[in-house]
Structure 1
């Protein structure tokens, strides 16, 4: 049995590869707009499960990992900003304040009739940056590709003062939670084997 990552996220793939795991990559193609939910915990778990489920039938003998992340800030939920104008406005609200980054994790193995869905949340404290810094950052295009409009592992890391909680969760996959989930499904061998 191999691990299949139901995501096109290069950041998630790199996290796994740096941990010595080389998954099969299969983008889910799931339309996220099908899930409407105001609770970030419920939202990320449902989206992670739907992404994993969309890929599971193609790989029934393998373990499928689906993930999804959102940023909760001031009572709103932010995924990837739709355009630069929205990204700038979002950053102007977030600067100097704290948000919560939620990531849902779903593991599915159809052949063993297994599924496990969990989430992790990490507090992110944003720097109080200038309008110019915001505009320049958004112009790089990076915020448009990331939940919450920033990449901690990229240029966005310059504009985060600190985090409280799991670092890799902010990048899109909590490695400690993933390890725990594998153990709960008796699949820890995937860590030692690299698959």
Structure 2
């Protein structure tokens, strides 16, 4: 049996998101989940690209600080996603009214989804961070359709109030870029970053 090039390496996903957990599972590498309760407030004016990179690093760093010294091996993966419409960053909605406002703004337009990915070596603290951007074109929707979508409960904890991998797929007309950036963990970018730690997905 040939040795895997990744023997002894594992990923530590710094996220409670079931979507990110499913995606990281798909890489076929051993992984564990450690939820980061990192503070997601950012002071001052920064670009969406800087924002998702800052928060990705913060989530991964927070998990590194939480690990016992005996657990400090593997690569910690932090990720953050925001939806941007005409320079306004749309995070998770505060309530249904906020969801309606966001979806009403997004309908019939093209917006950007930014996802940041940070990888930190738990043992050494060596880290890399990057982000990717995808354009998403939304269908034009009536107020009634928007309300029905909100009633499914899906928009509740999603950046921009929709999930492309759920029933939200029916309100997306087209995308230009990486689908997984919109889901919340760009796997192509992650696999590139892992090469910095000699981890080969393929």
TM-score, with length taken from structure 1: 0.92
CA displacement at 1:79 relative to structure 2: 0.9
Matched, 1:30 2:42: no
Q: Are residue 12 (structure 1) and residue 20 (structure 2) matched?
A: yes
Structure with greater helix percent: 1
What do residues 84-103 of structure 1 show as CA deviations (whole Å, max 9, x unaligned)? 00110111111000110000
Larger Rg: 2
> Could you tell me whether the CA contact under 8 Å between 2:103 and 2:160 is conserved in 1?
no
* Cα shift at 1:112: 3.2
Q: How many residues align?
A: 190
Report what 1:65 is aligned to.
Answer: 77
1:52 aligns with 2:64: no
Moved over 4 A (4+): 34-37
| Alignment root-mean-square deviation, CA | 1.4
Structure 2: 5+ residue runs without aligned partners?
1-8
Residue 52 of structure 1: SS of its match in structure 2? Answer: helix
Q: Which moved more, 1:135-144 or 1:117-126?
A: 135-144
Alignment equivalent of 1:83, drawn from 95, 115, 127: 95
SS of residue paired to 2:145? helix
Map of 2:6 onto structure 1: none
Query: In structure 1, how many angstroms separate the alpha carbons of the residues matched to 2:183 and 2:105?
Result: 21
Within the alignment, does 1:172 sit opposite 2:184 as a pair?
Answer: yes
Contact 2:10 2:29 in 1 (8 A): no
Cα 1:36–1:137 change in 2 (3 A) is farther
1:85-100 paired onto structure 2 within 5 Å: 85-100=97-112
Question: Take 1:170 and 1:77, find their aligned partners in 2: how far apart are those partners?
Answer: 14
Counterpart for residue 124 of structure 1: 136
Displacement, 1:20? Answer: 2.3
